[in-house]
């Protein structure tokens, strides 16, 4: 499965877009925190007065918690994207990926995220039940542009702007599979054009807490 290609229809109960939110979109960044790109993405967002949501991998967070603390301090939303971002681990019956990642957020940041995004967009019935029992919300996306494999920032920006609508949840990547040293300069270079184009269309990037009208932390 291509991790940036959403199914024709996500299963019921999974949030991928929000109706009735004129003027709002949610930019979300997966697979970080990353040693170079996360701080740069943060600077670009802050310079444009934009908020975003960062779906972070537990093992990367444990390695570089200060990057996530800086995002929190600036008012961005931190969310859960599994502990290892390993497909084999994630699809293993009875895996503890979700529990381990929530523990990492609590230990290093003192928070337990409300929002969860399954790695590769794959979610089992067992995990959906666990999320429901824990009061968490599964959030996927309706705009995905394969930024993880594109080298041209202008092409990434064009694809986002062509697809985005009011209430969209946009999937981008400031990291890669929880590797804190992954090279993700392309998304830093694409982001200013995305933000400027959104502003020209009267669309404001907000955190998922604003888009979904719910607390980002349990």
- Positions annotated as catalytic residues are 30, 173
Neighbours of 119 (CB within 10 A): 24
3-state SS, residue 14: coil
DSSP track, 51-118: --EEEE-HHHHHH-HHHHHHHHHTTPEEEE--SS--HHHHTSTT--HHHHHHHHHHHHHS--BSEE--
130 and 98 Cβ atoms separated by less than 8 Å = yes
In angstroms, the CA 179 to CA 35 distance is 9
């Amino acid at each position: 499965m291509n991790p940036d290609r959403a199914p024709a229809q996500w299963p019921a109960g999974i949030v991928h877009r929000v109706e009735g939110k004129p003027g709002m979109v949610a930019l979300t960044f997966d697979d970080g925190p990353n040693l170079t790109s996360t701080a740069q993405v943060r600077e670009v967002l802050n310079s444009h007065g934009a908020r975003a949501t960062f779906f972070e991998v537990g093992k990367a967070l444990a390695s570089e918690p200060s990057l996530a603390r800086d995002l929190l301090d600036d008012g961005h939303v931190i969310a859960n994207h599994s502990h290892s971002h390993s497909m084999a681990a994630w699809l293993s019956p009875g895996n503890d990926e979700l529990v381990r990642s929530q523990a990492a957020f609590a230990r290093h940041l003192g928070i337990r995220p409300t929002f969860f995004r399954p790695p590769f967009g794959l979610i089992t019935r067992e995990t959906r039940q666990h999320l429901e029992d824990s009061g968490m919300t599964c959030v996927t996306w309706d705009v995905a542009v394969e930024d993880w494999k594109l080298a041209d920032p202008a092409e990434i920006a064009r694809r986002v702007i062509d697809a985005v609508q009011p209430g969209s949840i946009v999937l981008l990547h400031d990291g890669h599979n929880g590797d804190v040293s992954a090279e993700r300069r392309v998304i830093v270079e694409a982001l200013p054009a995305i933000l400027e184009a959104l502003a020209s269309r009267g669309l404001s990037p907000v955190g998922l807490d604003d888009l979904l009208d719910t607390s980002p932390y349990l």
